[in-house]
Structure 1
């Protein structure tokens, strides 16, 4: 069970800070610290936002891959 949870985190949620850092031109480490500190202060609510953003980014990448495959034909 723990291995499945770690695999999920590695696949879906760790690209969020990188995406936000590149998008808003902010240091990735500052964004990670922001999520960590606000998670402790607000009892985990930013983690829900973080997971949701990871899922949305994954869906976005999936749609882009499908469009490039469709245009190859």
Structure 2
């Protein structure tokens, strides 16, 4: 058998079956485990997007406060 087919079958047997094996070991349904992984991926992606927006707002606010100060040379 070709190497790429053996690699494909290995990942199908061991990699893609991870949610089912985890569910079996926890005594849950595989669909619940898959749904948990989907939810946690959205939460982690959304968390870093929220951090990005917070930092962008913070930098904009810093620029607005710093822009209102007058310089010594503006007198």
Normalising by structure 1, we get a TM-score of 0.42
